[in-house]
Amino acid sequence: MPLVQRLGVDLGPRTRHGSPAVTRATRTESPSRLRVGIDENGLGPRLGPLIVTAVVARTPVDGEDAVLESPKGALSSRIGDSKKLVSFADSDLGEAWAQVLCARAGLPAPGTPDDLINALSIDPAAVLQRPCPDAHRAQCWSTHGEALVADAPLMATLAKDATKLGRKGIELLGAHVVILCTERLNERAAQGVSRFQTDLHAMERLVLHARERYGAELDVTCGKVGGYNSYPGAFGPLSGYLYTTLEEGRARSAYRIANVGDIAFVRDADDSHLLVALASLVGKWVRDFLTRRVTRYHRAVDPSLPEVSGYHDPITARFVDASALARKERGVPDVCFERVKAAV
């Protein structure tokens, strides 16, 4: 049974085989439209999770593409490609946007980073922690000593930004993330699932989650996944749905999915699409924060270990090598620590 059926989404007319019936004009026009921007953080590192993030907004039907273009002026210093605006050492901007987006969704103000991550995640904590060895669950999930760090002036500035965007027709509704830990990534690699497929399937889950949560068809813009020009053959959760191809190419591939909406995969979307840029910023904070938990767990035993981003760099390599003996003595499973080399 397709995932969206299990989630209880109204799929509309069905074929005799049970698949959604496709029409080329299934959308009913309305004064506004739900838009979703999706991006990934951490596709290629050695350590830490892969985070895939969606940001949802309501925009006018007319002129919506222009209104969601990359921000200009002062706002461009607060919404943009996360690789340009934040770093592993300073990702407060991403945390602040995560808090603002949770507030826009009407959620209680988080008291801790863990509250914030749980509010963003489409999977409950019990599901995320299910694969973890009892003796080493703290490597990824200990909250000892954690605190939210975005200061009040930054939060106030972003809240004003969100209000200004609303006046321009971009009503921010919330953010949602899929968290894929090292163990889950290694499990998929062992099954022959590539990193790009894993990334794509997480994006699909976010699309279906938004379709159910917000109760309307969507216009979705995702960052390009890998080198794909054609996506349907690689679909996972969406593979049971009939579709119409709108366009396919190196810069953009777009599809109409029956009773789900339009989905476009766009090259460099985090640098040109406001919602994708916001997703990139939020996801960057979530990934960096969860990676710090891993390094903190091992630095508690050996304080000489550096704090690392987990990417393929000399400092991360030193961390992996220097922690090897202690990890072996403590019985930390390699499958939960470092990603295996896998096909992209």
pLDDT at 89: 78
pLDDT tens digits, the chain, 344 residues: what are they? 333 333 333 333 333 333 333 333 344 444 678 999 999 999 999 999 999 999 999 998 765 566 788 888 899 999 988 888 888 878 899 999 999 999 999 999 999 999 999 999 999 999 999 999 999 999 999 999 999 999 999 999 999 999 999 998 999 999 999 999 999 999 999 999 999 999 999 999 999 999 999 999 999 999 999 888 999 999 999 999 999 999 999 999 999 999 999 999 999 998 889 999 999 999 999 999 999 999 999 999 999 999 999 999 999 999 999 999 999 999 999 999 999 876 55
Q: How does DSSP assign 256-288, residue by residue?
A: EETTTEEEEEETTGGGTBHHHHHHHHHHHHHHH
3-state secondary structure of 88: coil
Of 49, 342, 335, nearest to 192 by C-alpha is 342
pLDDT at 82: 86
- E-only strand ranges, 74-210: 171-180
pLDDT at 7: 33
The class of domain 3-293 in CATH terms is alpha beta
pLDDT at 64: 59
pLDDT at 86: 86
The pTM score is 0.89
Report the C-alpha gap between 27 and 260 in whole angstroms.
10
- E-only strand ranges, 61-203: 171-180
Strands 261-266, 50-60: pairing kind:
unpaired
The domain spans of the chain are: 3-293
Q: In b/e form, how buried is each residue of 232-259, taking b as 16+ CB within 10 angstroms?
A: bebbbbbebbebeeeeeeeebbbbbbbb
- Pull the structure tokens for residue 258: 């029956």
Is residue 232 within 8 A of residue 275, CB to CB? The reply is no
pLDDT at 13: 35
Of 136, 142, 177, nearest to 335 by C-alpha is 136
**Cα–Cα distance list, 334 to 86, 133, 324 (Å):** 30, 12, 9
Cα angle vertex 285, ends 332, 42, to 5°? 60
Of 100, 44, 52, nearest to 210 by C-alpha is 52
**CA quadruple 264, 58, 101, 201: dihedral sign:** negative
Report the C-alpha gap between 328 and 330 in whole angstroms.
5
Report the C-alpha gap between 265 and 281 in whole angstroms.
18
